[in-house]
A and B are shown apart, each in its own frame.
Chain A
Amino acid sequence: MTELAIDVQQLVKRFDKKLAVDHVDLQMPRGKVWGFLGPNGSGKTTTIRMICGLLEPSEGKGYCLGYDIQSEQAAIKLATGYMTQKFSFWEDLSIRENLEFVARLYHLKDAKNLVSKTLDSLGLASRQQQLAGTLSGGWKQRLALAAVTMHNPQLLLLDEPTAGVDPQARREFWDQIHLLASQGMTILVSTHYMDEAERCDHIVYLADGKIITQGTVQQIILESGLVTYRSNAENIRELAPLLRQQETVEHAAYFGAALHVSGPDKTALYNTIKRVAPDINWLEVETTLEDTFIALTKRAGLNKEHL
């Protein structure tokens, strides 16, 4: 058994002229929960698709669970579970029929029993005849997770699994993910949400097809070397664009009603904000993951504001 669940080198994917994934290296050990972060269109989905053999890389090579991603797709498909970005069921099949269909595709033994057990553990046993299309967002997500884990894969790839799901359902979903991880499953989750990123053992941050940074949350924040000030004052609405123009400021952005300003040099940053906005109260706070990503994205020469 190879040590690494995912081991890809210099992966490149081009669509016509567009470079969607730009020389990505990824070495992910088994048994961990890794987060895949990045703005929309940064290449997360494309990378995941190449890892599980759904897209042919334009350049580079790699292994998924020890299988070559370019020639052993069949073996990869059997050993991984991939929940696609818009995992959609066959909406005109019932909940049970969907699960049975998936179970049969994987040639699982005793499919009927397995599906019954899965339905029980999901708490959907009483609604098994309901059409999948009529489920609410949170339930759909849970059912999708059950569907891609029924064959007990070694590696689970989840592409934005909680997009559009309410916070309560998201928390429960993550509890489920950690439960699976504790049973030894390797899990790669792509997400938009910072709070979800903070629940991962390791984060890979992608922007414009390139890996900008990776590590644990603490590592990433620490390595960025950023200092952050926050203000909750009333009259800060027009300040951010002004602050962004300052040389010592790496990023200035609103977090709810508060304004965060970050920069690498504490004294220089403090002097700047005092000069630009002298009448306002500033408080030094711990740099958050989001501050770091905004700043790092800018450092990489990419002017993407939005995560």
Chain B
Amino acid sequence: MWAILVKEMIQMRRDRVTFAMILTIPIMQLIVFGYAINNDPKHLPTAVQIEDNSSISRTLLSALQNSEYFSFIETANGKTKSDDLIRQGKVSFILTIPAGFSERLIRGEHPQILLEADATDPVATANAIAKFQLIIEHALAQEFKGPLSYLASQESATEVIILPHYNPEGVTAFNIVPGLVGVILTMTMVMITSMAMTREVERGTMENLLAMPVRPYQVMIGKITPYILVGAVQTLIILIASHFLFAVPFIGSLWILSIGVGLFILANLALGFTFSTLAKTQMQAMQLTIFFFLPSILLSGFMFPFHGMPEWAQVIGEGLPLTHFLRIIRGVMLKDTDFNDLAPEFMAIAIFLVVVGTLAIKRYRQTLD
């Protein structure tokens, strides 16, 4: 038994990729779970629509800002514009303080204050929504001193209205099931291609293949094409299940989604192909896949709210195709986001595809050296 133990240790050390993975995966996990993930997401992008320019309004705004849950990044004006901002995924909230708010407040008329929320990811916004009313009441209590102290005795001086858009019941499945399409495609596409190529190398059939009249790009296209179909079938299965089992709405354009799925599959296949040029064995290919898969699910906004992560984690997240794909599929399915609004996400995946695809072709050699 001791002999086997020693042999395993030696082999493990020899296999540098495995060894590196054994060390880096826990470190990566620690950093991600320890620092990047936050189940109390703060600094959620918020647009403000202030029609009441008063000191009370300003007090409320700064109280919300100071709570750190809301981060005012846009000013909205008019109903159409504000809806767009949520649909485009630019903001999670729109705060509206209607005209005459402070006057009516002083008159004790319980004026409304409106918080519209993007409810497609209910987890991301839940805490901020829960705290919203408290923050408002607390801020007003500070104001109700001196001449306004008569208002302090009232139960609530304002009527807080929360309006969740797109997923008013806050069904988490609406957010997770479309995301699963991206997660499953990432896992299978990257793994299948990287393994399919390394299998040829491992079994010695690569040399046979290279000795025959076939060009690298032909090998690549020939190897990849069947898996595009596999990916398309997987997507279809999940979408059908999401409709019949989870009643996830699909209000957007199937065409836009198809383009997104196609582009995303290609990006993942190209990455798998690149991994296959790095890995010497199927085992290593598998490990590289996992190495990529972990940050993909953790930092893309699939498992944890994207805006809840610190800046650096968001930067890494922006580099992952899954992040952009999630915005596309959630946008199309739940919010009917149109192509123009999603263009930056398509662009990001396309850039990833070009960069990784070039790397794959560069690394894949026709000779054996």
Contacts and interface: CB of A to CB of B under 8 A. Distances in A.
Contacts of A91: 203
B213 A87 contact: no
Quick one: which of B210, B213, B366 has the most chain A CB within 10 A? B213
B204 to A, nearest CB: 5
Contact of B204 (A78, A84, A107): A84
Contacts of A25: none
A289 B367 CA distance: 35
B368 A49 contact: yes
B211 A82 contact: yes
Nearest to A159: B207
A16 to B, nearest CB: 11
Contacts of A82: 211
B204 A77 contact: no
B208 A88 contact: yes
A107 B218 CA distance: 13
B106 to A, nearest CB: 81
Contact of B211 (A52, A56, A86, A90): A52
Given A84-B207, A87-B204, 8 more contacts: A54-B207, A77-B211, A77-B212, A77-B213, A88-B203, A90-B205, A102-B212, A105-B214
Interface in A166-210: none
Given A105-B213, A105-B214, A106-B213, A87 B208 contact: yes
Contacts of B214: 105
Contacts of A49: 368
B208 A84 contact: yes
A216 interface: no
A307 interface: no
A40 interface: no
B369 interface: yes
Contacts of B205: 88-90
A74 interface: yes
Interface string B196-216: 000000011101101111110
B213 A84 contact: no
Interface string B212-243: 11110000000000000000000000000000
Interface in A136-177: none
Interface of B: 203-205, 207-208, 210-215, 366-369
Contacts of A78: 213
Nearest to B214: A105
15 contacts: A49-B368, A54-B211, A54-B367, A55-B369, A56-B367, A73-B366, A74-B215, A77-B212, A84-B204, A84-B211, A87-B208, A88-B203, A102-B212, A105-B212, A105-B214
Interface in A99-155: 102, 105-107
Contacts, number: 42
Contacts of B215: 74
B367 to A, nearest CB: 6
Q: Which of B204, B212, B368 has the most CB of A within 10 A?
A: B212
Q: Which secondary structure dominates where chain B touches chain A?
A: loop
A54 B212 contact: no
Nearest to A48: B211
Contacts of B368: 49, 54-55
Contacts of B212: 77, 102, 105-106
B208, B215, B368, most chain A CB atoms within 10 A: B208
B33 to A, nearest CB: 40
Nearest to A49: B368
B288 to A, nearest CB: 23
A149 to B, nearest CB: 13
A283 B213 CA distance: 55
Nearest to B210: A54
Contacts of A86: 204
Contacts of A102: 212
A171 B205 CA distance: 26
A106 B208 CA distance: 12
B200 to A, nearest CB: 9
Contacts of B213: 74, 77-78, 105-107
B255 to A, nearest CB: 35
Contacts of A89: 205
A43 B368 CA distance: 15
Nearest to A105: B212
Which residue, of B211, B214, B215, has the highest number of chain A Cβ atoms within 10 A? B211
A91 B210 CA distance: 17
A53 B207 CA distance: 11
Contacts of B369: 55-56
Contact of B367 (A55, A88, A90): A55
A110 B234 CA distance: 36
Nearest to B222: A105
Interface in A38-93: 49, 52-56, 73-74, 77-78, 82, 84, 86-91
